[in-house]
Chain A
Amino acid sequence: MVEVNPNLQLRAEVKNLSFSYSTEKKVLNSVSMPIYDTKVTALIGPSGCGKTTLLRCFNRMHDLYKVKEYQGEITLYPEQMNILSKDIDPIEVRMRIGMVFQKPNPFPKTIFENVVYGLRVRGVKKTSFIQERCEKALQQAGLWDEVKDRLNSSAQMLSGGQQQRLCIARALATEPEVLLLDEPTSALDPISTAHVEELIIELKKDVTIVIVTHNLHQAARVSDYTAFMYLGDLIEYGPTTKIFTNPADKRTESYITGRFG
């Protein structure tokens, strides 16, 4: 059982979360872990262990497909609302928790329209506010200088790394409380990857981040807490330095030393 550090502010707490795509096999098996405020939490583990599945519970992405049952809770602080509850509309959850996907997926619209899309959805009309937010989000995503002269050209003209930073800006423009990143650099070249990693470290001042990564060095570089998952179980959770230098579980140790994965 994972202990919650009482000295840190909680942003969310996963409690006994189980999930399955079909009736035969559980993909998540009673996972429990805290998500601390303005910290980066990394989810690591071999391919197919359920990292993406867990991440997509946070913004109820599974609700888009056939009826799926979540068992357990994800409590969002400070009001301690269970975001998996049937009474909570997934849209309400997604308004508060942003997501960036593995493959950059900008809309085939202008750069500007991509960034402000969340505001459009929320019915924001004030032009000055929208422009302000657009600039701020692009600054935060480290993309402003590269695109400020061509906000009205198509987002599809950007390179892969720029597109992914655009997607980050798009998620940031609505000031989400939690930002979910699913292997955000797996489709990027090393330079863009370094760019995005710097960004994550910069961003955690303002926003709580949960990042799935396949790259252990990345987890070690950017995260404060790390959760190691294996076959749908949470094997070990703790401060990143502890997980990487002194893991408690044998499986964690063999994974981080590269013996499987």
Chain B
Amino acid sequence: MNDLIKKVTQLLDDKTINVFIGYGQGTASRIRTIFVKNSSQVENLVYTSDCTANLAGYLLKHEVKKIGKLGILANDSALRSMMQLASEFQIKDGEVYVLHAAKDGSFTEFADFQSIEAYLVTIDTGITSDEQERIAKLEAMTVKERWIFWNKEFEKCIKCYACRAACPMCYCHRCTTDVNQPQWIPVASHEQGNLDYHLMRAMHLAGRCVNCGECANACPMDIPLNLLTYQLIAPIRTTFDATAGMKADAVYALSTFKPDDKENFII
């Protein structure tokens, strides 16, 4: 913790960065994102086992970017989001100062995207065993049972779009749900509108979701949305040998064509 404070103080003092995105104490024992702009605010930084949120989404927020050069405390998920965002031309190498927070509480500076990539190949990018279990249960269901399961979950949805807002990969300036000429997705939060929205979102995250779980954590109605996007990770991996958020110059599996691509999914 002292290392973190020392490092961030130095970065702000020597103007390497203008703001550091990290974790601070929130209300009701929650952890929240804080933006440290000068060394007098550095003491507000905390780092505990509860600091699990993926902060990478803030790298794209207009009002955050306007502050100046950004520094970020990135956990493994945030690093992967950053690589994915880089591959989609949303952030550039050298633009962001990256301090990596490892699970053991140590902090390492990553000088460039290449060193992030080198680190990412050494970690386990899979989903947790609890999530695996839940997905296995879903996959064991008949199509009809699964349909009922998801419709029941979506029934609770109020279309607050917290899932979309919390997802670092949902950065589109004009989301498909917001387009009205033509209208692709019914705006209403009724059965059809909820179903269409969630299927569209899942499809748009296939091969891009870095399994950080922010969507499900954000949902006020406790809908396990992450299971929907996580279920698409394995097919993309086995079909196209692609894993999201590993390389800054990756080409997106679903928008590229290789002559040896498998075609077994075409019916």
Asked if A and B are interacting partners, one says no
Partner-B contacts on A (CB < 8 A): none
The residues of B with any CB-CB pair to A shorter than 8 Å are none
